[in-house]
Chain A
């Protein structure tokens, strides 16, 4: 009540009070709702409990976080280093460039949702859409638009070499070797008993490919919980990895979902479900952990992820820089974190 107006509300006070009530009402209503939902889940006698599996012994983590920032965009999916101080991220229908301080330095609009991205040595950006590849320069000018892939394409990974591009198509369960004009030269990874190739198993749309300095391809085979090593002619040279929640294994139904290579041939892997980033030797022995589940946004922790299956949220992507730093894109939290080996002098962001 207002004493100056004889206990009556002025019109301004009434409108102001109404506005405050409207603004705070949903918050005060939603808070108990969310708390009740959380309590109901906690009281569940049949709870699917993986809390203990989210713990990683700190002594096994060989990397430390040196930088990190939020990506102010939705639909983030893949990232690449373009320079030691710059990262490009796909976000919905655009490419976003960030410096390591988190400042956005460039943005390129793309006509469709970007599924994957690779940087060629000459600076061109190869952009994978659902069914085709487009080529851009760093200023955002489209240089080429390749024809659509036949079948049921769903492109999810790209790796570029000197004169060829490798395109991971999770829809057709194959990796294409293309020339840089977009002509498909070879299909890699398809089931072929004569060549002792078991075939790619992809319960969900995660197929990644990387080309190493040794000229060999690393291809994820998530349904078989392993990384496969192919020559550029499609011969299967090596495969490693096993299923399980143990730290040296790949968890869940289908992991790893992304790989990136260190300069010496070691492999950095990313998993979903229990979001983990690990470093394996070239032959598949676990060497160290870059980051464990506690360093990423837990699935179900917010309204965006609650109730959604893991494949709808996707998980993580990794990219190794020329100096060995590992950039991790958290698709749930929409953040980028930079890690480097412990004991190495920090590089200024």
Chain B
């Protein structure tokens, strides 16, 4: 009679189940930790535009997956000159320095001009009208301080994993900004 297998070498059913649960538990914990860390990393950054690299090419107006682009013009007031003849607001050759549609550079009249005191005017953006075409930004940069600039507005942006505008940006101006600083910070 041949000797049978020793009980010492065999795994009991109870041990087999226990080991299986242990492996399954560790695997599940690993998957959970990985998923959480990935989710945290994705939420830690958002898309933003570096105005120094922006070429005002207008692709922000057309490339966004949203029907109305999440990219809007923003006026950074600390460097705005509050100019009467704002080259971001007026056509290069305006008929008059007033709010007549024929004088305005913006194709959707999204810039609001308000008299402050002689000779200063304030310019605000109506973001529901702004399409992010950057025409005003080019005018402001060419003659002025560059206070008009494009920014991704996070109340609209879907924060796509692969941003369609960033992919086509010829100036490579899109970057991932930390959520603590979701907008570009100018230095004076």
Contact = CB atoms under 8 A, between A and B. Distances in A.
Contacts of A36: 170
B130 interface: no
Count chain A CB atoms within 10 A of each CB in B51, B82, B87, B133 and give the residue with the most: B87
A213 to B, nearest CB: 32
B170 A308 contact: no
A245 B145 contact: no
A299 B138 CA distance: 11
B93 A273 contact: no
A224 B83 CA distance: 9
Interface stretch (B2-10, B31-39, B55-63): B55-63
Nearest to B57: A40
Contact of B54 (A203, A204, A244, A307): A307
B86 interface: yes
Given A40-B59, A45-B58, A307-B53, A254 B144 contact: yes
Contacts of A225: 85
Interface string A297-333: 0010000001111111000000000000000000000
A50 B139 CA distance: 9
Interface string A34-47: 00110111011111
A41 to B, nearest CB: 5
Contact of A307 (B52, B87, B119): B52
A251 interface: yes
Interface in A202-241: 203-204, 223-225
Contacts of A46: 58, 61, 107, 133-135
Interface residues of A, number: 38
A48 B52 contact: no
Interface residues of B, number: 38
A272 interface: yes
Contact of A311 (B56, B107, B146, B171): B146
Interface in A271-288: 272-273
Interface string B77-91: 000011111110000
A7 to B, nearest CB: 42
A243 interface: yes
Contact of B144 (A49, A198, A310): A310
B135 A204 contact: no
B140 interface: yes
A53 interface: yes
Count chain B CB atoms within 10 A of each CB in A45, A201, A223, A253 and give the residue with the most: A253
13 contacts: A46-B58, A48-B105, A48-B138, A203-B83, A204-B145, A223-B83, A225-B85, A243-B85, A252-B142, A253-B81, A308-B52, A308-B141, A310-B141
Interface of B: 51-59, 61, 81-87, 92-93, 97, 105, 107, 118-119, 133-135, 138-146, 170-171
Shortest 8 CB-CB distances between A and B: which pairs? A203-B81, A309-B146, A252-B143, A48-B138, A40-B170, A273-B143, A253-B83, A46-B133
Given A201-B119, A311-B144, 13 more contacts: A37-B55, A37-B170, A41-B56, A41-B57, A46-B133, A48-B139, A203-B145, A204-B145, A223-B84, A273-B87, A307-B141, A308-B141, A310-B145
